[in-house]
Amino acid sequence: MKLIIATQNNGKMREFKRILEPLGVTVLSAGEAGIHTDVEETGETFAENARIKARAVMELSGLPAIADDSGLCVDALGGAPGVYSARYAGENATDDDRIAKLLSELQDVPEGRRGAHFVSAICCAFPDGSELCAEGVCNGVIGHEKRGENGFGYDPVFYTEQGSFSELTAEQKDAISHRGRALRDFYEQFKNRFAGLTSGGTPR
């Protein structure tokens, strides 16, 4: 069975593959499946955006498609950047641009008020119209500087008890991250729905 991951983000793609390939399915990026389209994220929540992206790619491919919408919610900023995390510093901004903007807005916020959490909402849309959805949350704080060399996005300034996301190994991050938690929930739902399904099979 093939699953298409509706993302152009290589970091997300690696995380999806690490956690989902043990299911015995073939995991493809949208590009690998020949789909090159930017789906407009018009939802007001992470879950709505994940559903919009998954259904759009499923309709284009005719195959089950999984989409994730995730972002950083900072308490001192009223939950921002939230669903606008990827566009926080402008449409063509880099990860460094977004981090610089975040740290600038928090420069006068003291320790104890820098709480934040990452959210990941995952939706898998199937050609028969059904869906499987899951959500994961990881709590932490925003540091005053970047730490670590791994990860992507806001990982270098998102601190957990174990260190910043960028200081963790892939396995350590998967164990506690918002996406890791959402994917494990999705994994169990998917496994229960398609128990006994092997690679190349057809969903019932």
Residue 49, annotated as binding a ligand: no
Residue 98, annotated as binding a ligand: no
79 and 92 Cβ atoms separated by less than 8 Å:
no
| Boundaries of every domain in the chain | 2-193
This prediction has a pTM of: 0.85
CATH architecture of 2-193: Alpha-Beta Complex (3.90)
pLDDT tens digits along 3-14 = 999 888 888 888
Average pLDDT (53-72) is: 94
Residue 101, annotated as binding a ligand: no
Residue 204: pLDDT above 50?
A: no
Phi and psi at residue 196, to the nearest 5°: 90, -5
Residue 130, annotated as binding a ligand: no
Per-residue pLDDT band at 36 (split at 50, 70, 90): confident
Supply the DSSP string of 151-167, one letter for each residue: S-TTGGGEEETTEEGGG
Average pLDDT (74-90) is: 95
Residue 179, annotated as binding a ligand: yes
Three-state secondary-structure class, residue 89: coil
Q: Among residues 38, 69, 108, 185, which one is catalytic?
A: 69
96 is catalytic: no
pLDDT tens digits along 142-164 = 999 999 999 899 999 999 999 99
